[in-house]
A and B are shown apart, each in its own frame.
Chain A
Amino acid sequence: MSEVKQERKPEEFAGREYQAGFITDIESDTLPPGLNEDVVRHISAKKNEPEWLLNWRLEAFRHWQTMTEPHWPNVSYTPTDYQSISYYSAPKSQADGPKSLDEVDPKLLETYAKLGIPLREQEFLAGVAVDAVFDSVSVATTFKGKLKDVGVIFCPISEAVRDYPELVQQYLGTVVPTGDNFFAALNSAVFTDGSFVFIPKGVRCPMELSTYFRINALNTGQFERTLIIAEEGSYVSYLEGCTAPQRDENQLHAAVVELVALDDAQIKYSTVQNWYPGDEDGLGGIYNFVTKRADCRGARSKVSWTQVETGSAITWKYPSCVLRGDDSVGEFYSVALTKMHQQADTGTKMIHIGKNTRSTIVSKGIAAGFGNQSYRGLVKIGKSAEGARNYTQCDSLLIGDKCGAHTFPYVEVKNPTATMEHEATTSKIGEEQLFYCKSRGISEEDAVNMIVNGFCKDVFNELPMEFAVEANRLMEVSLEGAVG
């Protein structure tokens, strides 16, 4: 439009170079690429797992072999060769088993420092316990003692399998069954680690639990398994942050997260995902195919999913709530940013089964550059869900004219007493808004950041304080130069 000044090309929208792109040099104990029953057995043996878990894995593996990769998401990519991936990689120093942060490989700590998440500082300043997952094995868990005093269990899931086998066996796979979908089945077969959280009856977890994930070894798929159980009347806030170093080949990440909330329990699950999105030509980057689901099993239970998704080449995830208990509440607050050649097909599922169940969905999608994103959401009101209510709001913001935003809302209502509200908007960062800011002395980049952060405000307000600050910063970094 402008003839006074040359318009910026969409190619320039590509955000600032990925800041977390470095590779830590730690010797890895890595399986050769390929997947068969022996690999599954090997993983299970490496972790000294009980028989039942091996059988559970094998069942999942056999199921997986009969399944095909789904192609319904609105994304395109070169198919993954599942035989070219290595399914196990553990930092070698793990053999000695660090007992405190002091024993952790200094190079690992350095890596975290580069990412701006010094464990120790967090420990002291933020009062946050960190279960750091480096590649596939947890190497540092802090604050365990404090948590233990109130009966909270927060540990790597492999440890939970060893120390609390009954709990794990009782709940594992009850929210996301082994055969739920292609990626969940794969995860069930080969998951290496992840977090386990158990909040006993009536306990309010005294601190926010936080896990920073990091994918490191070359060509290693990462399969996290997280299980959080909140017993009657308990409360927990769980923070998940992810960033990965730079890589040329696509990396598959297929995590499974299961949440169980019993009567009057509350779980708040917050994610900031900043994995490597690929380079400016769309080469490389993480394939983030995740299954996250909460079972609001108890009456008056409540689960909130809050996510800020700014990384990954492809994101495919639908944190969902099964509202089984009467008067249970499900919430989903999401900001997804796709820039450069990133693609995201994300949203949620709210399955209303109990009476007077309520769900809220607030989704904010921002597309810049050649980014493409879809909101896909299902709200299902079952026959038994007398008086169920849902409110859905989907807003999309486009930056430039080479990007795309789509909305696929699915609604199934089988009970006539249900109340449904849906609002959707799509807007462009207006030339008017930009000019308004500039005429007040604000540079174009600052103006874009300001407008985008304003757009995301409803969701950022839902984040715990530490994450809200990080999310703001992340959006700023990601959007640098993304002006249209």
Chain B
Amino acid sequence: MLKIENLHASVAGKEILKGINLTIGAGEIHAIMGPNGSGKSTLSNVIAGRDGYEVTQGTVTYKGHDLLAMEPEERAWEGVFLAFQYPVEIPGVNNTYLLKAGVNAARRHRGEQELDAMEFMQLVREKAKLVELDQSFLSRGVNEGFSGGEKKRNEIFQMAVLEPSLALLDETDSGLDIDALRIVAKGVNTLRAADRSIIMITHYQRLLDYIEPDVVHVLADGKILKTGDKSLALELEERGYDWVRAEEAAA
């Protein structure tokens, strides 16, 4: 699904990613953990195609295509989805309207017929239930006046509607209370599929209790220092990140 090789990227001339290698197969869930400033969000932004992130070296191949050559919207059409750490408010723009524009742009791209208003509303109602999102959110402005938890649920709701092949969840658990976390996790688990890969970026092991990853990576100082199974996450929770760095230094 996704193959990242020797990826180097800078922000404002400062190198943040220093040679990332990562391969994610179809249907896999990978957790990327790491301390603040390790480059986790930079990695998700580079994959989603945000401006201001300069790739200086390396390649990212998605479904056999050069992902870095695509515009962000093309990536979305091809099934890449980013659940934002801090979803932005867009006042006056109807939540459903934005999603419908996105869904239909992707359908046009694939040569499929666009969904009409009725079909779309049906789809949206069904998906809103997945994350227990009240119907009233559908007609509100995008994230306008949403609480932190509602914003995160809205992200997973959008993921459910857009049905991506590769979803990046950037600290989707941060700022969630335990009930909201459970709802969001349930939503994500429902969306697990053999043809859908998920990258979860998180600080905390807590999320992994609810969404079980196949692989856990430790990202620090712009590199993946260690890769393991979910037991690695438990070890990190217990011992912090310094021992991983020390191991790396010793090697």
Contact = CB atoms under 8 A, between A and B. Distances in A.
Interface of A: 1-5, 430-433, 435-444, 446, 450-451, 453-458
Nearest to B104: A441
A430 B88 contact: yes
Q: What does DSSP make chain B's interface, helix, strand, loop or mixed? A: mixed
Contact of B93 (A441, A451, A458): A451
User: Lowest 6 A-B CB distances belong to which pairs?
Assistant: A454-B92, A441-B76, A454-B93, A440-B102, A457-B92, A441-B102
Interface string B48-89: 111111110000000000000001110111000110100110
B76 A439 contact: yes
B158 interface: yes
Given A441-B73, A442-B105, A4 B92 contact: no
Contacts of B105: 441-443, 446
B101 interface: yes
B141 interface: yes
B98 A4 contact: no
Contacts of B97: 450
A380 B141 CA distance: 35
Contacts of B90: 433, 436-437, 450-451, 454
26 contacts: A1-B51, A2-B51, A3-B13, A4-B51, A4-B54, A5-B51, A436-B90, A438-B73, A439-B72, A439-B76, A439-B81, A439-B82, A440-B76, A440-B99, A440-B102, A440-B162, A441-B102, A441-B109, A442-B73, A442-B98, A442-B101, A442-B102, A446-B105, A450-B97, A454-B90, A454-B141
Contacts of A430: 88
A454 B97 CA distance: 11
Contacts of A457: 91-92
Nearest to A456: B92
B59 to A, nearest CB: 14
Contacts of A431: 51-52
Interface in B214-249: none
Contacts of B50: 435, 439
Contacts of A4: 51-55
A445 to B, nearest CB: 10
Contacts of A5: 51
Given A439-B48, A439-B82, 20 more contacts: A4-B51, A4-B54, A4-B55, A5-B51, A430-B88, A431-B52, A433-B90, A435-B51, A435-B72, A436-B84, A436-B88, A436-B90, A436-B142, A440-B76, A440-B158, A441-B76, A441-B101, A442-B105, A450-B93, A451-B93
A441 B92 contact: no
B106 interface: yes
B174 to A, nearest CB: 17
A175 to B, nearest CB: 34
Contact of B98 (A432, A437, A443, A458): A437
A1 B50 CA distance: 11
A431 B94 CA distance: 19
Nearest to B51: A2
A441 B77 contact: yes
A54 B61 CA distance: 80
Contacts of A438: 49, 71-73, 76
Nearest to B99: A440
A422 to B, nearest CB: 19
Nearest to A437: B98
Contacts of A444: 73
B93 A1 contact: no
B197 to A, nearest CB: 17
Contacts of B207: none
A132 to B, nearest CB: 33
Contact of B92 (A3, A440, A455): A455
B17 interface: no
A442 B91 CA distance: 17
A440 B98 contact: yes
Contacts of B106: 441
A432 B162 contact: no
